[in-house]
Structure 1
Amino acid sequence: MTGLIYPLLLCGGSGTRLWPLSRKSFPKQFARITGDDSLFQQAAKRLSGADFAAPIVVTGNDFRFIVTEQLAACELAPSAIVIEPEGRNTAPAVLAAALGLAQHDPLALMLVAPSDHVIPDQEAFRAAVQAAAPRAQAGYLVTFGIMPTRAETGYGYLELAEGAQSTATTPQALKRFVEKPDAARAAEMVASGTYLWNAGIFLFTAQALIEAFATHAPDILAPVRASVTQARRDLGFTRLDPAHWADVPDISIDYAIMEKASHLAVMPYSAGWSDLGGWEAVWQESGPDASGNVISDHATALDCTGTLLRSETDRVELVGIGLEDIVAIATGDAVLVAHKSKAQDVKDAVAALKARGALQATQFPTDHRPWGWFESLAMGTRFQVKRIHVHPGAALSLQSHHHRSEHWIVVEGTAKVTIDGQVQLVTENQSVYVPLGAVHRMENPGKVPMVLIEVQTGSYLGEDDIIRYEDIYARGQGAKG
């Protein structure tokens, strides 16, 4: 095989089935669920090395700086970060990346990979990718099929063509894609030995995919091509044109292309895989002990079996007594308790919380920004207390507020503070007052994180009460810009 493989990491989803750890403001791909790295970081590392080019990442506007920060922590640099104006499912996202890559090399191999999967054996997966590469170079669209370990109803399936082998180490002929089955049908398919799980991982040349869209989905190709052609560069990001993107259908690559194309092949894979589609999958992948329990730090199990107890904060000690097949997840602001058999219904609970207007449905108390993060500690009708963490060398925008004043107390590091043109250094145990309407900025000039406590007072404390005058992150106006 010649040439590098270009990984395409898709990381725009919201992952509601792992609520409360995964929410719209910080979805599961960026969370540390099965190790010290986030799922996104695991995927980036898995698809790096001598055989791979720097990754292409497709994500949403709110996640762009999380992507860069997490890649930097892995000491990996992307070849491109493509910003979707809004999510349109996988078909447009993959096509946009292919059109961009084809401008430089139409025959470049693209490996499309969701960024929220768990694949423990990196070397085995890389070997499977290498085995599939010649078929993809020959113009085929190669999908990866996982050897089933159970009659799973949460996955789509791939039916092998007659004579194809599910245990083969080279790509096999594919008969068709099969929708998620009911339990009885899933048991039949697994027993037959001629079906694989659809992993949503694909390998093809940029040119082959573009030609497939031209044949099977020209209504998608035209607006996506226009959006790519009129994309603009912004601080190293590629922003797709929103006007043309608004005309793009919301559709998966399976429906748009894979179920229609004829030049398909499937690469069987049996060395371990999970899409972490729910808390039961997390329990399975976390290695239950002899009693079938998975217990995190700050959690205690007494006389429990088959249970997942997970606390995400040292401020909440989670205790289970006499539980069987229960999932209990505690964060700083929400607790989930469910039977494992009902774990897939978490998305319904999120919908119910949204209907009640509960912020916990979509937002975390911790809000990530390009300069660091802040956490809301307390809130009343006319006050809010935050802890603000600013990375070394980072700076908030030069800004003002219509409805609130602020008191800042530095508790770690040193802050460089600008208020109405006056600049001062504020060190640990010192404080400063920012009057309502004052044009101000805080920066961290040091080499260690700077942490301060902010007390806001005023008639309105929403994050959208902000006017930006200067911003090194080019965020524009609005709560996050």
Structure 2
Amino acid sequence: MELIPVILSGGVGSRLWPVSREAHPKPFMELPDGQNLIQKTFLRASRLEGVVEVLTVTNRELLFKTEDEYGLVNKAGHAQGFILEPFGRNTAAAVAAAALSLEASHGADAHMLVLAADHLIKDEKAFAAAVANAVTLASDGWLVTFGIQPTYPETGFGYIEAQKSAPLNGGLKVARFVEKPNLETAQGYLSAGNYFWNSGMFCFRVGTVLEELRQHAPDVVAAVAKTIEASRLTSSENYRCLALDSGLFAQVPDISIDYALMERSQKVATIPCDIGWSDIGSWNAVSELTPADENGNRFEGEVLAHDSRNNYVNSEERLTALVGVEDLLVIDTPDAVMIAHKDHAQDVKHIVSQLKACSHTVHLLHRTVHRPWGTYTTLEEGKRFKIKRIVVKPKASLSLQMHHHRSEHWIVVEGMAVVVNDQQKLMLNTNESTFIRAGHQHRLENPGVIPLVLIEVQSGDYLGEDDIVRFEDNYGRVDK
């Protein structure tokens, strides 16, 4: 029986700002053990019995970073598939696109396991057992969700009410889904014993979920199917990538899979499970991953504390000192610092809203920005200049491009560069440089086997990242 985990990687995680940002969202946050959430999800999924491929639905701008992260942990060479969304259209569209794609590639009898890219599951053995039960129920025609055994009256999660009198093979029939409750209601759910946290993880037989979607959300399936027909598929032996058409995808209804299907279908079951699950939904949850000292403080990085208790500090770049404070969250990044009381951890998202409202780029980008060819880090900038550190992967190259408003001076500090500068093609070694005038076409390539590192000094009237015209690109970023 074929099982295909489908990893949905689309959330920003605004409550985990300033580490999580739109161009570097929550799934890519490195945890104290050195792995990030999307790597952990991939490994957990690929180790399950019967897995023939891991399919990821993500934003097209995150494809190359996702591939890089998977490449660091996919030592077994598991087959990978990607569905690239031009923009978010909620989970119903993502699930429908995955199901239609899997029907074409693996058939209606294949089973899909829908997972979030940014959840943490500590008990992998219990998770595998729950998945095995879910596959059995899905084979019998059920749409299966994973209900997490609640351990306290949580008000930040939706709940699943199971029918006590309707036991199934390893699970329970779902009576209803309920929204996030108030504290009193959540306490009642905890006491009742048949209410579970809605994890947002699902298991379906591909043919069953498409039949149910066509019955309960036909507009979603029809719009996604039309989009796929006009989309570009790239495939090889262990890799396939479906880039969804932007114009048609914009016409897909924006609705969650819960609202579109799970709350409407009569074929929904839940697997109650205790798997060490966390959605890592706030800095309080992240702090629990770090052991506390004798004063209840949890520190990541170099931190000094005096007369301070129950604080969490994440400060990898510089020394942080606490004096006489309690119950604080201190998150320090190279270009932003966030300080909050632990009781207001959920309110960090309001700062992100303010940043968006004033078009501040710190909600979108880190100082170090990942690109398909490598990274660039903004070291300093002023009114008419910007200084960057650029790192190009071995055998990678930037696009052939041009800027209207800025000139650039490139100085190689490590490695070797092949540079196209207007009509010239140059080979630059360490300590050599070239100057590129505004309006001149140019390209940077690393022909070597080690990373190419250079310093770029920009000068001009306008230094925005949108002042770029691409003529050729290895990564499909030329606007046809």
TM-score, normalised to structure 1's length? 0.94
1:41 is paired with a residue whose SS is: helix
Equivalent pair of 1:301/1:309 in contact (CA under 8 Å): no
Distance 1:323-1:395 versus aligned 2 partners, 3 A rule:
same
Q: How far is 1:395 from its partner? A: 0.5
1:78 Cα shift?
4.7
Once residues 79 and 90 of structure 2 are traced to their aligned partners in structure 1, the CA distance between those partners, rounded to angstroms, is: 22
- Are the equivalent residues in 2 in contact too, given 1:7–1:110 (CA < 8 A)? yes
CA contact (8 A) 1:92 1:224 kept: yes
Query: Does the 8 Å CA contact 2:124/2:275 hold for their aligned counterparts?
Result: no
Structure 1 residue matching 2:396: 3-state secondary structure: coil
The answer for the alignment partner of 2:445 in structure 1 is 443
Q: Determine if contact 1:8/1:97 at 8 Å carries over to the other structure.
A: yes
In the alignment, the residues of structure 1 paired with residue 359 and residue 4 of structure 2 have an alpha-carbon distance, to the nearest angstrom, of: 42
SS of the equivalent of 2:277 reads coil
Give, in whole Å, the separation in 2 of the partners of 1:63 and 1:142: 29
For 2:31, the aligned partner's letter is: I
1:132 pairs, out of 134, 151, 163, with 134
- 1:248 paired with 2:252, answer yes
| 1:212 aligned partner | 212
Residue of structure 2 in register with 1:279 after alignment: 283
Aligned-residue CA RMSD (Å): 1.8
Match of 1:45 among 43, 46, 53: 43
Residues 288, 255 of structure 1: alpha-carbon distance in 2 compared, 3 angstrom cutoff: farther
Q: Which residue of 2 aligns with 1:18?
A: 16
Q: Is 1:397 aligned to 2:399, yes or no?
A: yes
Aligned match of 2:98: 97
CA deviations on 1:190-244 (whole Å, 9 max, x unpaired) are 1222211000000011111111111111121111111122221358531112232
Query: Is the contact made by 2:164 and 2:172 (CA closer than 8 Å) also made in structure 1?
Result: no
Q: Give the structure 1 partner of residue 80 of structure 2.
A: 79
Residue aligning to 2:456: 454
Q: What is residue 55 of structure 2 aligned with on the other side? A: 56
Tell whether the 8 Å contact from 1:419 to 1:441 is kept in structure 2 after alignment. Answer: yes
Equivalent in the alignment of 2:150: 148
Q: Which blocks of at least 5 consecutive residues in structure 2 are unaligned?
A: none
C-alpha spacing 1:170/1:138, structure 2 compared with 1 (3 Å): same
- Indicate the larger mover: 227-236 or 395-404: 227-236
Matched, 1:370 2:372: yes
Moved more, 351-360 or 395-404: 351-360
Distance in 2, Cα, partners of 1:343 & 1:4: 41
Secondary structure of the residue that 2:122 maps to in structure 1?
A: coil
Asked if 2 retains the 8 angstrom alpha-carbon contact of 1:300 and 1:309, the reply is no
Which stretch of structure 1 is more off in the superposition, 128-137 or 430-439? 430-439
- Following superposition, the deviation at residue 339 of structure 1 comes to 0.8
Is 1:57–1:78's contact at 8 Å kept on the other side of the alignment?
A: no
The whole-number CA distance in structure 1 between the counterparts of 2:293 and 2:50 is 37
Aligned mates of 1:329, 1:103 — CA distance in 2: 45
TM-fit CA distance, 1:85: 2.2
1:110 partner SS: strand
Shift of residue 433 of structure 1?
1.4
Report if aligned partners of 1:71, 1:77 keep a CA contact under 8 Å in 2: no
CA distance in structure 1 between the aligned counterparts of 2:334 and 2:169, rounded to whole angstroms: 46
2:14/2:349 contact within 8 Å kept:
yes
Whole-Å separation in 1 of the counterparts to 2:32 and 2:123: 14
Alignment CA distance shift 1:287-1:265 (3 Å): farther
1:354 maps to 356
Tell me the distance in 2 between the aligned counterparts of 1:4 and 1:322: 57
Q: Do the aligned residues in 2 keep the contact of 1:19 with 1:346 (CA within 8 Å)? A: yes
In the aligned structure 1, how far is the partner of 2:152 from the partner of 2:364? 32
Match of 1:262 in 2: 266
Counterpart of 1:199 in structure 2 is: 199
> Contact 2:172–2:270 at 8 Å: present in 1 too?
yes
> How many angstroms apart in 2 are the aligned matches of 1:276 and 1:83?
24
Secondary structure of the structure 1 residue equivalent to 2:120: coil
**Which amino acid in 1 is paired with 2:61?**
D
Segments of 4+ in structure 1 off by > 4 A?
none
Partner residue, 1:300: 304
Q: Unaligned 5+ residue runs, structure 1?
A: none
Equivalent position of 1:326 in the other structure: 328
The answer to whether the 8 A contact 1:309-1:320 is kept is no
Q: Partners in 2 of 1:97 and 1:37 — Cα distance?
A: 26
* Alpha carbons 1:409, 1:453 under 8 Å: kept: yes
Structure with greater strand percent: 2
Q: Could you give the per-residue CA deviations for residues 29-70 of structure 1, whole angstroms, max 9, x where no partner exists? A: 112134311111110000013531221111112111111111
TM-score where L is the length of structure 2: 0.94
Moved more, 224-233 or 148-157: 224-233
- Partners of 2:290 and 2:299 within 8 A in 1: no
Aligned-partner SS, 1:399: strand
Contact 1:300 1:319 in 2 (8 A): yes
What percent of counterpart residues are identical? 43
Shift of residue 296, structure 1, vs aligned partner: 0.4
1:309 has 2:310 as partner: no
Which stretch of the first structure deviates more once superposed, 351-360 or 378-387?
351-360
Q: What does residue 32 of structure 1 align with?
A: 30
Q: Structure 1 residues 299-308 or 275-284, which shifts more?
A: 299-308
